[in-house]
Amino acid sequence: MHAFAALLDSLIYTRSRNAKLKLIGDYLQAAPDPDRGWAMAALTGDLDLPGVKSAVIRALIEARVDPVLFRMSRDYVGDTAETVALLWPAPALPVDPAPLSIGAVVDRLLSLSRSDAPAALAEMLDRSDAEERFALLKMATGALRIGVSARLAKTALAQAFGIDVEAVEEVWHGLAPPYPTLFAWAEGKGEQPTPVDVPVFRPFMLAHPLEDLRVDLADYAAEWKWDGIRVQIVHVAGVTKLYSRTGDDVTGSFPEVAAAFSTPGVVDGELLVKGEAQGHTLDADRADGGAASFNALQQRLGRKTVSAKMQADYPAFVRLYDILFDGAEDLRALSWTERRARLEAFVPRLDPERFDLSQVIDAPDFTALEAIRGGARDAAIEGVMLKRRDSAYVTGRRVGLWYKWKRDPLTADCVMMYAQRGSGRRSSYYSDYTFGCWTETGELLPVGKAYSGITDDELRMLDKFVRGHTLSRFGPVREVEKTLVLEIAFDSLHASKRHKSGVAMRFPRIARIRTDKPAAEADRIETLMRMIT
């Protein structure tokens, strides 16, 4: 555990990507099995210890120190694991002096019930120093927040052992921690794991924002960018799986889609909910292609079990963009043009109630495409995708291959109401802001929350405003004077019964700090209501 704790401590204070890769790689080469496998699971978010949750940790520390002291310290530090690691008192009785290993910790916590795990965790914390306690708690809760993505950790592994990171990604979701076959392959002691007969996830090909670039439509094909969630559907050996863009298995949330896909292969598309054409074959001639707004899809997201009524009220389907495998044949090295022809031949073999084909936009040139894109918002479409016709299907974002040209965002002038401390390197700042708009009677109601879109200088400015204009304190949250206007950009607005204002913003971010605008002139709720899609 000490070596893993030192790794986390070093990663927290390291900004350089290359330095982080070396730190992780050096650890993986030096650590024994299964410790390094469980460390990889923690770094990639694949470690789940169901008996240890944040509430358990809070209960343990509040039984040992003054709860008020803990809450005040947590408010200041901004991180529960760090606070508990520093406040944890020395044990009253002698403890086992043997050092803890990650493998022993995980094995024990996984073997215990929810009722027995807290006592075991407390005993482990008694045996650890502050640095080890921090690592143990971060690992146990699965919330590292140390500036390391799953992709970066896999890249570090690949570079450390001289293997292809794309090959690691290819088999990752077919393997289980602590990944003994993966490390055996990496060290040349075993065969490369393969996805044969296992419905594994393949990383998506992603797009760069188009920004100010103009492209030649002789080289690029244009498709609509639909407002759903990107999914990959895999059918291998009689088993179908649906994966989200992050590789999460979402099959259970959309069982009717999985049941309808029984043709061997792997396809890439957008998961949507039917709109007005519920219960009928999809009408691709409609402006929205038969799809309801993202708000309708949200009713289905995150549900582990879905009732028959939910499936009937919000029937899901997938609009297909691309094909990666046709049966066992890997098509990813083919050009987009060739894959498109294969996809067009593949789609008719599927259930038309659950699957259709994303249409290519017919535009003679880029100027004409600009005019067509201008109608995207009225048609409830997120924007346009531009795909180079000769591009292979490659992992991640590659410059010059695919571009996303999203519709222009909506904006509203809102008044800051509350501010909350951030996490990680922002834990010392009030960086998460709740903002509102006015009702006709002059009441200010919350309409959203944002923390992105600002520079470090603007963050310091807003933090200073919060501290100097606080009205009330609620733990890590402060209510502020209703005097500062923020221009908020967002992708869309939806009606919401959960919010008092009646609206919910999709992807809000701070576009400008409007020190030039009086709070009384901020937008009204009725203005936002007219933007609802």
pTM for this entry: 0.70
- Determine the pLDDT at residue 283: 40
Residues 195 and 241 sit within 8 Å (Cβ to Cβ): no
CA distances from 362 to 13, 49, 376 (A): 51, 51, 14
**pLDDT, tens digit, 9 for 90 and up, residues 151-194:** 899 999 999 999 999 889 888 877 889 999 999 999 999 998 88
Instruction: Provide mean pLDDT across the span 450-467.
Output: 93
**pLDDT, tens digit, 9 for 90 and up, residues 298-326:** 778 777 778 889 899 899 999 999 999 99
Handedness of CA 259, 261, 266, 267 (dihedral sign): negative
- Determine the pLDDT at residue 424: 67
Look at residue 288 and tell me whether its pLDDT is greater than 70. no
- Determine the pLDDT at residue 380: 63
Look at residue 474 and tell me whether its pLDDT is greater than 90. no
Instruction: Provide mean pLDDT across the span 105-129.
Output: 93
Q: Maximum distance among all alpha carbons in the chain?
A: 80
- pLDDT averaged over every residue in the chain: 90
- Determine the pLDDT at residue 280: 31
**pLDDT, tens digit, 9 for 90 and up, residues 372-390:** 988 776 666 888 999 999 9
Lowest mean pLDDT among 3-7, 23-27, 143-147, 348-352: 143-147
Complete domains list, the chain, with CATH:
2-141 (1.10.3260.10), 205-406 (3.30.470.30), 410-529 (2.40.50.140)
CA distance 414 to 453: 15
- Determine the pLDDT at residue 281: 34
* Exposed/middle/buried for residue 364 (C-beta within 10 Å: 0-12, 13-18, 19+): exposed
Residues 210 and 386 sit within 8 Å (Cβ to Cβ): yes
**pLDDT, tens digit, 9 for 90 and up, residues 266-286:** 999 999 998 753 333 334 444
Reference 222, options 398, 365, 377, 332; nearest CA is: 365
Residue 143: pLDDT band with limits 50, 70, 90? confident
